[in-house]
Amino acid sequence: MRLGRILQQNLRYEDLQRIRATNVHVSVNKATLYRKPLAIRNASMQWMYDLNGKKYLDFFGGIVTVGVGHCHPKVNDALIQQINKVWHTTNIYYNEPFHAYAEKLASTLPGDLKTVYLVNSGSEANDLALLMARVSTGNYDVIALRNGYHGMSPNTMGLTGHSTWKQNSPHYFGIHHAMNPDVYKGIWGGESCRDSPVQTDRKCACSGGVCQAADKYVEQLEEVLTYSVPQRKVAAMFIESIQGVGGVVQYPKGYVKKAQDLIRKNGGVIISDEVQTGFGRTGDHLWNFESHGIIPDIVTMAKSIGNGFPMAAVVTTPKIAQSLANASHFNTFGGNPMASAVGKAVLEVIEEEKLQQHCKTVGTYFLKELEKFRAEFSNVGDVRGKGFMIGIEMVENKETRKQLALEKVLDIFEDLKDEGLLVGRGGHYGNVFRLSPPMCATKADVDFALPIFRKVFKKHAT
Q: pLDDT by residue (tens digit) across 231-244?
A: 999 999 999 999 99
Q: Is the pLDDT of residue 404 over 80?
A: yes
Residue 433 CA to residue 460 CA, distance in Å, equals: 15
For 407-446, what is each residue's pLDDT tens digit?
Answer: 999 999 999 999 999 999 999 999 999 999 999 999 999 9
Q: Is the pLDDT of residue 5 over 70?
A: no
Residue 382 CA to residue 391 CA, distance in Å, equals: 8
**Predicted pLDDT of residue 208:** 64
pLDDT band for position 80 (cuts 50, 70, 90): very high
Averaged pLDDT, 58-68: 97
Q: Whose CA is closest to 298, among 159, 126, 158, 119?
A: 126
% pLDDT > 70, the chain? 98
**Predicted pLDDT of residue 1:** 41
**Predicted pLDDT of residue 2:** 54
Q: Whose CA is closest to 118, among 399, 356, 376, 312?
A: 312
**Predicted pLDDT of residue 311:** 97
Q: Is the pLDDT of residue 7 over 60?
A: no
CA atoms within 13 A of residue 178's CA, in its CB half-sphere: 28
For 314-362, what is each residue's pLDDT tens digit?
Answer: 999 999 999 998 888 889 999 999 999 999 999 999 999 999 999 999 9
Residue 50 CA to residue 15 CA, distance in Å, equals: 15
Q: Is the pLDDT of residue 65 over 60?
A: yes
What value does the mean pLDDT of the chain take? 94
- DSSP per-residue string spanning 105-154: HHHTS-TT--EEEEESSHHHHHHHHHHHHHHHHS--EEEEETT----SSH
For 125-134, what is each residue's pLDDT tens digit?
Answer: 999 999 999 9
For 293-304, what is each residue's pLDDT tens digit?
Answer: 999 999 999 999
Residue 153 CA to residue 135 CA, distance in Å, equals: 19
Q: Phi and psi at residue 424, in whole multiples of 5°? A: -110, 180
- Strongest mean pLDDT among 12-26, 96-110, 199-213: 96-110
Q: Is the pLDDT of residue 9 over 80?
A: no
For 113-146, what is each residue's pLDDT tens digit?
Answer: 999 999 999 999 999 999 999 999 999 999 999 9
Considering the entire predicted model, what is its pTM?
0.95
Please, what are the domains in the chain? Answer: 10-68+354-460 (3.90.1150.10), 77-352 (3.40.640.10)
**Predicted pLDDT of residue 4:** 53
For 165-199, what is each residue's pLDDT tens digit?
Answer: 888 888 778 999 999 999 999 999 999 899 999 99
